[in-house]
């Protein structure tokens, strides 16, 4: 059974999840896939990191993984001409990134939110987003 899908208003302070080795590998592999433009595969890799998470407050960070999944899915759908679905995914991702701390799991969530919003505001343009992870 997948973890509870939290809504933006359901959580307060969001803490970073403690990934096991396999989840961490899936998370990092998703970043590499995303950066190479393999958005569907990035989505699948991040989903593999998300699905083992639990339903306790320590798992509220699942919302960040779902935002990444939705961003990657939106880019995949846009590339394939499924514009309605793409817009929906960008909007959901932007909403989730907006409630995250400015840095989460080493990624800049502010720039991710801005990128998702730009995808909506200027949908006819192709923007590129590369994920650069910084520890600490």
Partners of 103 in the β-ladder: 108
Q: Confirm if 105 and 15 have CB atoms less than 8 A apart.
A: no
Residues 77-86: pLDDT tens digits? 999 999 999 9
Q: Is the CA virtual torsion 35, 33, 80, 47 positive or negative?
A: negative
- What's the token pair of residue 123? 């949908």
Q: At 21, which helix (H) or strand (E)?
A: helix 21-35
Q: Does the structure show a pLDDT above 90 at 71?
A: yes
- Reported CATH class of domain 20-121: mainly alpha
Q: Which residue has the higher pLDDT, 6 or 102?
A: 102
Q: Which pLDDT belongs to residue 85?
A: 94
Q: How confident is the model at residue 2 (pLDDT cuts 50, 70, 90)?
A: low
Quick: pLDDT tens for 20-69: 999 999 999 999 999 999 999 999 999 999 999 988 877 788 899 999 99
Q: How far is CA 47 from the centre of its chain?
A: 10
């Amino acid at each position: 059974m997948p973890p509870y899908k939290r809504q933006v208003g359901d959580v307060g302070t969001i803490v970073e999840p403690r990934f096991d080795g396999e989840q961490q590998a899936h998370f990092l592999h998703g970043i590499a896939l995303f950066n190479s433009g393999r958005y569907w595969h990035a989505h699948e890799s991040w989903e593999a990191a998300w699905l083992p998470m639990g339903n306790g407050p320590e798992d509220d960070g699942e919302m960040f993984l779902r935002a990444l999944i939705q961003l990657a899915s939106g880019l995949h759908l846009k590339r394939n001409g499924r514009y309605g679905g793409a817009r929906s995914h960008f909007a959901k991702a932007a909403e989730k990134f907006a409630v995250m701390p400015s840095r989460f799991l080493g990624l800049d969530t502010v720039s991710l939110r801005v990128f998702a919003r730009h995808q909506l505001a200027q949908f006819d343009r192709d923007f590129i987003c590369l994920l650069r992870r910084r520890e600490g």
